[in-house]
Amino acid sequence: MVVIGEKFPKVEVNTTHGKMKLPDDFKGKWFILFSHPADFTPVCTTEFYAFQKRYEKFKELGAELIGLSVDQVFSHLKWIEWIKEKLGVEIEFPIIADDRGDLAEKLGMIPSGATITARAVFIVDPEATIRAIIYYPAEVGRDVDEILRALKALQISDKHGVALPHKWPNNELVGSNVIIPPASTKDAIKERETAKERGEIECYDWWFCHKKLEGD
């Protein structure tokens, strides 16, 4: 089972867009791999609808989507055909047919004693490093907006060397501000106090400082 910080395993998979090699086919891009328990199920259908409605937002952040379940390709194809016909939305991203469960097992997507995948999410960066892993049980659907938020937060953190608070950019304590990593030396504490006096940052204490994010 992989963990955050490891490289995404190299695999070849069958998808609704033909054979793909992961992570190579997304080289230089972020991608989100998400699994669903089964095709033609109500909660999964609401999720796929939500992912597709936000697909452009993911692409604006330089990220691609790819789904997965242990169903076969023909089942995926028929299901997305049904979604287009009944719900008016065409699923444009590929879906992996992991019918033997090889990749799902390698990624730890199949709960103990189960034969279907959990609702797992893997956010992978352009260097093919797994940056976030989220799991939900079969009976609880995901919040796709939270996945978008996590992706953007990771990108902001990488670019600016900051941390992002609970529910950013709508945090109860700091609003849309970002968190400055705690000072690690006495000199850094003094520099932080000076920056606070200049109005460059705000602090509850020297270890809890935040600032406006410029340029994003």
* Span 121-138, pLDDT tens digits: 999 999 999 999 999 988
Confidence at residue 173, expressed as pLDDT on a 0 to 100 scale = 97
Contact 162, 213 (CB under 8 A): yes
Strand-pair partners of 20: 13
pTM of the model: 0.94
Distance from C-alpha of 211 to C-alpha of 175, rounded to nearest angstrom = 10
**pLDDT band at residue 215, thresholds of 50, 70 and 90?**
low
Contact 170, 187 (CB under 8 A): no
And the tokens for 113? 């004693």
Please report, in angstroms and rounded to a whole number, the separation of the first and last CA atoms in the chain.
35
The DSSP string of 91-158 is --S-EEE-TT-HHHHHTT-S-TT-SS--EEEEEE-TTSBEEEEEEE-TTS---HHHHHHHHHHHHHHH
Q: Taking residues 83-108, report their average pLDDT.
A: 94
Residues 6+ apart with CB under 8 A from 203: 192, 196, 209, 210
Confidence at residue 101, expressed as pLDDT on a 0 to 100 scale = 85
Confidence at residue 110, expressed as pLDDT on a 0 to 100 scale = 85
Domains and CATH numbers, the chain: 11-142 (3.40.30.10), 161-216 (3.30.1020.10)
The set of catalytic residues is 44
Strands (E), 146-197: 178-180
Distance from C-alpha of 87 to C-alpha of 215, rounded to nearest angstrom = 38
Contact 51, 65 (CB under 8 A): yes
Confidence at residue 115, expressed as pLDDT on a 0 to 100 scale = 81
And the tokens for 116? 């279907």
Contact 49, 83 (CB under 8 A): yes
Distance from C-alpha of 75 to C-alpha of 123, rounded to nearest angstrom = 25
